[in-house]
Amino acid sequence: MGRSPVASRSWENAHSPYWSLHVEAWRQSRMDRAVYCRQHGLSIKTFGRWMKHLIGKEETCKHAEYMLELRRGRRRQQRGKNGKRRQKRRYVVSTDIRSRAIQAFWRCRRKQ
């Protein structure tokens, strides 16, 4: 039984100027990978595979860490501009829902 030519493809011999161009443009753009792919109409999974092939796993990890630090820095700057962190809700449900229900109950009772 013959093997499929698709199954025997190797990344070792793979090279595509199209993907090389996109990977290099993405690295220089300082964008998140998903954002870059959406803007250029690329599949995120396919882009990720080519990225790992063309620049290597170590470089990919370094770039991901760099992007994470960049995002953290932006968040810190935004917090500095606003003065403080956004407060978390104490309760999952808004506390005025109970009072609204009581108000609705008494409105119905008055009409009777």
What is the CA angle 49-27-39, rounded to 5? 75
Residue 112 and residue 104: Cα distance in Å, rounded?
Answer: 13
Within a domain: 106: no
pLDDT confidence bin for 53, thresholds 50/70/90 = confident
* Domain span at 60: 11-84
Within a domain: 95: no
Which of 3-7, 52-56, 78-82, 104-108 is the least confident region?
A: 3-7
Within a domain: 5: no
Q: What is the pTM of this model?
A: 0.51
Within a domain: 80: yes
For the segment 74-89, the average pLDDT, to the nearest whole number, is 72
User: Which residue, among 79, 24, 82, has the nearest Cα to 50 in the 3D structure?
Assistant: 24
Within a domain: 31: yes
pLDDT confidence bin for 38, thresholds 50/70/90 = very high
Average pLDDT, the chain: 77
